[in-house]
Amino acid sequence: VSLLGMLTTLLANLNQRRRELAILRSVGARPWQLFTLISIESLFTTLLGCIVGSALYYLVMLLASSYLQSHAGISVNIDMLSYYELTLIGVIMAAG
């Protein structure tokens, strides 16, 4: 669902920037330069999303761990991302 949301956002962004891309083409930008520009923008957007998502994950885990321990008796261990989770982030980066 997140990947579809990201795809929708990127396509909406392209539709809004159609004029800007036309101007860049009229001043001499080649198609591969536009493709590179859009690809780099997509890469940075995806990277920022992964970083912010991971940071929010750790923040929620830090805030919720004491609450869960005191109210429900659940002990939460906060560890680094596993190999599987890093692989998923890599797949998300590739899809982005």
Contact 95, 45 (CB under 8 A): no
Task: With beta carbons less than 8 A apart as the criterion, state whether 34 and 20 touch.
Answer: no
Write the pLDDT tens digit of every residue in 34-55.
889 888 988 888 899 889 999 9
Lowest mean pLDDT segment, chosen from 23-32, 51-60, 71-80:
71-80
**Residues in contact with 14: Cβ distance below 8 Å, sequence separation at least 6, in sequence order:** 21, 38
The pLDDT of residue 56 is 93
- Tell me which of 67 and 2 has the higher pLDDT: 67
Q: How confident is the model at residue 63 (pLDDT cuts 50, 70, 90)?
A: confident
**pLDDT score of 10:** 75
Domains of the chain, residue spans: 2-95
